Amino acid sequence: MKHLAAYLLAVLGGARDPDAESIKKILVAGGAKPEDEKLAQLLKDVKGKSVNELIALGQTRMASFGGCAAPAAAPAKEEHKKEEHKKEEKKKEEKKEEKKEEVVEEVEMGGLFGFDE
C-alpha cells in the first residue's frame, strides 16, 4: 500500500509515469522503507495505465468485497449541547418542585393522640 500511495503522490505532483527512484524518494521522505521487490511489481502492474483507470479498477474490486452497515454516527456537538441544556433545565425544574414539596403545613390534629396543647 505504501508503494501505491507514493506512486499516486508522485502522479499528483506532476509525474505522468513515475519511476522507482522518485517513488523511493517519497517513501524515504515519509519515513517508510522502500521494498525493491514490491516496488518493481507495482511498476509492472501499473505500466501503460492511467491513474483514472487504476482507480476505476480498484473501485470495482472493492465493490466485490461487499461489506456491512456503517456504524451510527455520533451526535453532533450542537445536538449534544442541546441535550445537556435540556437535562440541566429538567434538573432545575425538579429542584424547584422538591422545594415546593418540602414546605410542610402544620395542621391542627385536634387531640388525635389524646394530647391537647
Nearest Cα residue to 86 out of 78, 98, 97 = 78
Instruction: Please state, in angstroms and as integers, the Cα–Cα distance from residue 2 to each residue in 19, 39, 102, following that order.
Output: 15, 10, 69
Radius of gyration of the chain (CA): 36
What percent of the chain is predicted at pLDDT more than 90?
28
Note whether 42 and 4 are within 8 A (CB): yes
Q: Is the pLDDT confidence value at 60 over 80?
A: yes
- Statement: residue 74 has pLDDT above 80: no
Asked if residue 81 has pLDDT above 90, the reply is no
Residues 14-43: tens digit of each pLDDT? 988 899 999 999 999 999 999 999 999 999
pLDDT of residue 80: 72
pLDDT given at position 61: 82
